[in-house]
Amino acid sequence: MELGARFPPCKLGRSFTGWVQRTFQSTQAAAASQNSCAVDDNKATAPVPEDCPVSSYNEWDPLEEVIVGRAENACVPPFSVEVKANTYEKNWEFYQKFGGQSFPRDHLKKAIAEIEEMCNILKMEGVIVKRPEPIDWSVKYKTPDFESTGMYAAMPRDILLVVGNEIIEAPMAWRARFFEYRAYRPVIKDYFHRGAKWTTAPKPTMADELYDQDYPIHSVQDRHKLAAQGKFVTTEFEPCFDAADFIRAGRDIFVQRSQVTNNSGIEWMRRHLAPEYRVHTLSFKDPNPMHIDATLNIIGPGLVLSNPDRPCHQIEFFKKAGWTVIYPPLPLIPDDHPLWMSSKWLSMNVLMLDEKRVMVDANETPIQKMFENLGISTIKVNIRHANSLGGGFHCWTCDIRRRGTLQSYLD
C-alpha cells in the first residue's frame, strides 16, 4: 500500500495494549454521550434531514456516493485457524511465510494505481467517492483474548452495510480485522453528523471458543462435506458476521451462513431490521462460503446472477417470484494470476451504477457481452492486481447513496 497521511505511529517498545484500552474507552465515552443526548428531547426526536447523505435500499438504483477501499499498507493476515478455513491449500505456504508482513510491495503498488483509476472513472460517471483513512496494519495488538496484526481497509463491503439511511458496522470474524473499523470512523462520523443513523453490531471477543480449533480441512472434498453438513470454522459462541454475506433487494435482504457469518449473527440482523425488512437465509453448493456477492449478485429488479459452479439451493424462490435467473459465463482470469483470498468468480462481483450501467473487469469479455445482451452498458476497468487482495468491484466499494425509495420486489 502506498504511504500517505496516517495515524501517529506507536513508539518502539510501547505495548499496543494502551491503544486497545483507548479504543474501548472511546466506545464507552460514545455510549455516555449517547445517554446524555437521550435526555435532550429536541435532539432525541430530531427528524432525519431530507438531504441525509446516506440512503440506499438495493444494489441497482442510480449510484450517487460510494466508499472505495484502500490497498495502502495492506498486510497478510497471520495464519490462524479462521484464515486457514477461508483459504485454499495452495496458498497456505504464502500465509505461513508472510503472515503479519506486507503483501508483495510491487503487487500492492499496481493495485493502488488500479483503484485510483477506478475512483477517477467513478467520479467521471458523476459519483462522489469517499475513502477510508490509511493506517499501519502491521502494528501488533493484544486484547484479553488474542494477539494479532491487522490486514487492510480494502473492502468496505465486508465491514459496512447500508440499509436505508442507516450504516451498520459488521462485527467481523477474523482476528486480523478486529480493528478494521478504525479506518472508516472519520467518514462515518461525518455521515452521522449530517443525519445518518449509525449502528455498530455487538463486537465479538473472538476468543478461542468462537472457532472450531480442530476444523478438519484436508481437501476440497472435505470442505464440500462439511459445508453440506452445515459445519463451519465459526461456532455459535457469540454473534459474528461480515456485511458482505448480505445482499439487498428493497424490503428483502438475503444472507448466507458462511465461514465468517454464523446463525447468531444472522439472527441479530433479522431482529435488528424487523419488521420493516425481511432477512432470508440462502445456502449454496459451495466448499468455502465466504461473502455472497461472487456467488449470488442481484443486478436489477427481478434480475439475479447465480454462480453456475455454486448452485443456490433455494433458487426456485426467485423463479416463483417471477425473477430472471442468469448464469454468468466462466471467468477468464489466468491460472497463474495470484488470488490469495478469492476465486476467479470475482468476474461476477460487479458494481451496478444504475439499472443500465455496470462496472465490469476490462479483461472479462464474456461477461461484458452478457451484460450488453441484457441492454446494460459496460464500464470497463482493469483491477486484476486489486483482485488478488480478495475482491472485485462490489467488494471494493460500499454504496452510500442511491437515488431511490424503499420498495418490495418479491410481493
What one-character-per-residue DSSP string does 280-303 give?
EEE-BS-SS---GGGTEEEEETTE
- Give the CA radius of gyration of the chain: 20
Cα–Cα nearest to 55, from 401, 406, 409: 401
Per-residue pLDDT of the chain (411 residues; tens, 9 = 90+): 333 333 343 333 344 444 444 444 444 444 444 443 333 444 443 444 678 999 999 999 999 999 999 999 999 999 999 999 989 888 999 999 999 999 999 999 999 999 999 999 999 999 999 999 999 999 999 999 999 999 999 999 999 999 999 999 999 999 999 999 999 999 999 999 999 999 999 999 999 999 999 898 777 678 778 888 889 999 999 999 999 999 999 999 999 999 999 999 999 999 999 999 999 999 999 888 999 999 999 999 999 999 999 999 999 999 999 999 999 999 999 999 999 998 999 999 999 999 999 999 999 999 999 999 999 999 999 999 999 999 999 999 999 999 999 999 998
Residue/partner pairs of 21-26 with CB below 8 Å, 24 or more apart: 23/179, 23/182
CA atoms within 13 A on the CB side of 305: 27
pTM as predicted: 0.88
Q: What is the pLDDT of residue 49?
A: 62
* Cα separation, 392 vs 383, whole angstroms: 8
Cα–Cα nearest to 48, from 185, 163, 167, 194: 194
Active site residue 136: no
Active site residue 395: yes
* Cα separation, 284 vs 307, whole angstroms: 9
In this structure, is the dihedral angle defined by the CA atoms of residues 94, 182, 232 and 208, taken in order, positive or negative? positive
- Contact call for residues 169 and 178 (beta carbons, < 8 A): no
* Cα separation, 15 vs 8, whole angstroms: 15
Whether the ω angle into residue 275 lies within 30 degrees of 0, i.e. cis, is yes
Residue/partner pairs of 120-127 with CB below 8 Å, 24 or more apart: 121/359, 121/379, 121/381, 122/66, 122/68, 122/359, 125/353, 125/357, 125/379, 126/64, 127/63, 127/64, 127/65, 127/66, 127/353
Active site residue 240: no
Q: How far is CA 380 from CA 110, 294, 362, 368, 377, in A?
A: 17, 18, 4, 8, 10
Cα–Cα nearest to 165, from 184, 183, 145, 188: 188
* DSSP string for residues in 36-80: HHHH-HHHHTPPPPTT-S-BB-BSSSPEEEEEE-B-TT-BPPP--
3-state secondary structure of 229: coil
Q: What is the pLDDT of residue 227?
A: 82
* Cα separation, 52 vs 195, whole angstroms: 5
Q: What is the pLDDT of residue 11?
A: 37
Cα–Cα nearest to 5, from 133, 189, 184, 156: 133
Task: Return the beta strands (E) in 81-176 as ranges.
Answer: 128-130, 141-142, 147-148, 160-163, 166-169
Rounded to a whole number of angstroms, the distance between the first and last alpha carbons of the chain is 46
Residue with cell 418490495: 408
Query: Which of 107, 291, 385, 394 is labelled catalytic?
Result: 291
- Contact call for residues 131 and 70 (beta carbons, < 8 A): yes
* Cα separation, 205 vs 348, whole angstroms: 34
Query: Which of 61, 212, 242, 399 is labelled catalytic?
Result: 242
